[in-house]
Amino acid sequence: MLKYFYDKEADVFYFSQGASCASDETIEAGDDVLIRVNPRTKKVRGFTLLNASRRTKRSSVSSLPFILTPTR
């Protein structure tokens, strides 16, 4: 399950698949996007959108290619 969290104060949107691990590698993908990858399997474990509020002015949340489910 894809989990997400928006930190309004930092203006950062976090998406993750499962728990993060200290050994995960972070890759700067450009355009304020960071991708977390398991170094052994090379599978994407999550990603981070910096300056997230900038993106909502250009595009609609309804155009995302997945459904957002809030985490508790």
Q: What is the pLDDT along the chain (72 residues), one digit of tens a residue?
A: 888 888 889 999 999 988 778 899 999 999 899 999 999 999 999 999 999 888 765 544 444 555 555 555
pTM above 0.75, yes or no: no
Domain that holds residue 49: 2-56
Residue 65 in domain: no
Residue 38 lies in a domain: yes
Cα–Cα distance measured from residue 35 to residue 30, given in angstroms and rounded to the nearest whole number = 10
**Distance (Å, rounded) from C-alpha 39 to C-alpha 26?**
10
Residue 27 lies in a domain: yes
> Which tokens hold the place of 3?
């989990």
Residue 69 is assigned to a structural domain of this protein: no
Residue 9 lies in a domain: yes
Q: What is the total count of domains within the chain?
A: 1
